[in-house]
Amino acid sequence: MIDAIRFGDGGVDRPDADSAEALRAARDGTRTTWIRATEATETDLSTIGEALDLHDLTLEDVRQDVRPKTEEFDDYTFVVLKDAELRRGEQAFRDEIDAESLGIFVGENWLVTVATGPVPAVDAVWDAVAREDSRLLARGPDFAAYRVVDGLIDQYFDILDRIETQIESIEESVVDTTDIEVLEEINSVRRDLLAFRKIAWPSREALNALARGDPEYVTEPTEKYFRDVSDNLFQVVDLIETYRDLTTGTRDIYLNTLSQSTNEVMKALTVVATIFIPLTFVVGVYGMNFANTGDAPLNMPELQWTYGYPAVMLGMALVVGILVLYFRQQDWI
């Protein structure tokens, strides 16, 4: 779907946007024209490209999952960024990073935003223009583009806040349980951070070009705003690296806790096995039943003893008591 809005000192109006000719007519003028394509189809992209003479490769970059970047053309500056969101996955049923490409074209007096899905940052700035926000009406298309980019980076901070909450929850549970679900949650957060890093890291280079004022259609007064956004993005990248280190430490704590739990189980089994080894030996010896007969007077004479059985049981109980006392002194039980 294609919409158009025109704003400037004369206020705000909505020109027609149903054809390439209408878009071309809306662009021509002294005021700033913003053309927005939301959930853009192939037809929408072709119409915008024909109306504004946009290079086919730039429109293809919006359709495909390309890295964020900034490119300079004769008549406009092209920027690709990612609209990221942390949402519930359809298969893993865990929060996952979902990213959509957003194409921003900045011309002398026109702005085009193209996305294959809804972008909250674009809608927020569009609504501000429709409300005749004086801060936007008094500036050109590059400032409106800055406001969109700033909204995207704010969403990045929202994602990091949610990831931080997940990490805190995991840190509280990792010392209390060795459930395998805890490890799955840790790995899920690490995957999200890795996917987020692949979005934020190349975005730094794209914004650096705008902050330096390299593109022709980013005016000097707007450069400082892009520098501020670039600084915020650097902070996002630093937080991602910090959270990755935290998840690594949390995973190590989990593995150490699991190892300690396994050691406790092995210690208990060792105690039980050690106690039963001498008992098994005694029972095995007397289980041979070499009875004392006249022909073999040395064959277990104690089998004929009246108190032989109680003596063996008492001896086995004494052995168990000595071993239990020893293990208690060693703090094994």
Domain boundaries, the chain: 2-258, 259-329
* Rounded Cα distance, 19 and 16, in Å: 8
* Rounded Cα distance, 4 and 304, in Å: 110
pLDDT class of 127 with cuts at 50, 70, 90? very high
185-227 pLDDT tens trace: 888 899 899 989 999 998 998 998 888 877 888 888 889 999 9
- Describe the chain by its helix, strand, coil percentages, rounded to 5: 60, 15, 25
Q: Is CATH 1.20.58.340 correct for 259-329?
A: yes
Helix (H, G, I), strand (E, B) or coil at 231: helix
Tokens 């060792």 locate to: 270
Q: Which helix (H) or strand (E) holds 250?
A: helix 220-286
pLDDT class of 295 with cuts at 50, 70, 90? low
The region, left, alpha or beta by phi > 0 then psi within -120 to 50, assigned to residue 78 is beta
Chain mean pLDDT for the chain:
85
289, 278, 288: which is closest to 320 by C-alpha?
A: 278
pLDDT reported for residue 121: 92
The whole-number average pLDDT for the span 56-70 is 87
Q: List beta partners, residue 114.
A: 37, 103
Q: Over pLDDT 90: what percentage of the chain?
A: 25
Q: What is the pTM of this model?
A: 0.78
The whole-number average pLDDT for the span 253-265 is 81
Helix (H, G, I), strand (E, B) or coil at 80: strand
Helix (H, G, I), strand (E, B) or coil at 75: coil
Q: List beta partners, residue 77.
A: 72, 106
Tokens 């990490």 locate to: 167
Q: How many residues does the structure list for the chain?
A: 333
pLDDT, greater one: 259 or 293: 259
CATH superfamily of domain region 2-258: CorA soluble domain-like (3.30.460.20)
pLDDT reported for residue 296: 61
pLDDT, greater one: 86 or 156: 156
The whole-number average pLDDT for the span 117-125 is 90
Q: Which helix (H) or strand (E) holds 81?
A: strand 77-88
> With 60 as the cut, is the pLDDT of residue 288 above it?
yes
239, 252, 241, 226: which is closest to 150 by C-alpha?
A: 226
Structure tokens at 46: 């072709």
The whole-number average pLDDT for the span 107-116 is 90
pLDDT class of 94 with cuts at 50, 70, 90? low
Q: Over pLDDT 70: what percentage of the chain?
A: 94
User: Kindly report the CA angle at 272 between 268 and 276, in degrees rounded to 5?
Assistant: 170
Residues ≥6 apart with Cβ < 8 Å to 190: 244, 247, 248, 251
pLDDT reported for residue 93: 43
CA atoms within 13 A on the CB side of 304: 11
pLDDT class of 297 with cuts at 50, 70, 90? low
* Fold match between domain 2-258 and domain 259-329: no
pLDDT reported for residue 291: 66
